[in-house]
Structure 1
Amino acid sequence: MEFEYFGDSSGEIDESYNDHAKGYERDIDFAFFFVNFNTSKRDFMELTKREKVFIRKAWEEKEVRESTFMRNAVMNAVANAMRDKKTPFRDLWKKKQKPVDFEVVEINLDAIEESNKKDEFDWVAEIYKANGLNKPAEGGN
């Protein structure tokens, strides 16, 4: 498993570094885990090579994800600061839309219509009125 984002940007392997690093791979590994994960020497020694590879990959993905979140937050803040004063703020996060359960919608509409017939109070018209709109005429237009 290799890093997708981290490593030498040229794609070339530095052979002189590899020559100097020979014999120090375990120390380099421990330093990485100690600095990034506050791993004790005992905990580090208990990790298998496979676990280390997966931990490094998860760390890379976490770093990329967090920096992307930060970039998006900064871009959003700049866009909001530079926006025309008549336009609303742009939200950083958008709520995930859930599919509509049409059975529940039908039940709710039936309850509203029944309530309107009994109470002679038009909830729908009140909602339109509260939002400064006129209720559309029956039949659509």
Structure 2
Amino acid sequence: GLRVNLVASPFEQPLGQRSFAEIWSRQTRWARLRRVTFPLFFTPEILTGAAAPLLLALVAAASAGVSLSTTALWVLAIAYLPECLLALAKGWYLSPRSVTAMIARDAMLPAIWARAWFGGAVEWRGNEMTIRTRALTELEEIA
């Protein structure tokens, strides 16, 4: 735990076939852990993904009278093309389903982020776990 090993470059992490419930559980568990462990770094995570840039670009396009569909296509291309190029460069699996999965992932991010802030216990391998801040744990020990 005290020795950190960093990799030289990104690598593929195939997880295999997963149900939506398994994906949701994994994402919310890790989000909750990041939120409790590093709240200042977790707070701006709501801005990651394509949702925030897409929303801001669509508002700007609507204000300027520019085509919303063209704006959306450009923003989505700028958001997902680098990720697709990385996958191609590394020889990772990439298909139209991959892009659909990326869009679904980014659509889920705001709900995952909110769940990390307001949710309680998470499930890991069928076991319910409560991930808390040290301050909350200490308060409960006193009570």
When the two structures are superposed, what TM-score results if normalisation uses the length of structure 2? 0.29
Of structures 1 and 2, the larger Rg is shown by 1
Counting strand residues as a fraction of each chain, which structure ranks higher?
2
Task: Flag the structure with more relative contact order, 1 or 2, with Cα contacts below 8 A and sequence separation at least 6.
Answer: 2
Counting helix residues as a fraction of each chain, which structure ranks higher?
2
When the two structures are superposed, what TM-score results if normalisation uses the length of structure 1? 0.30
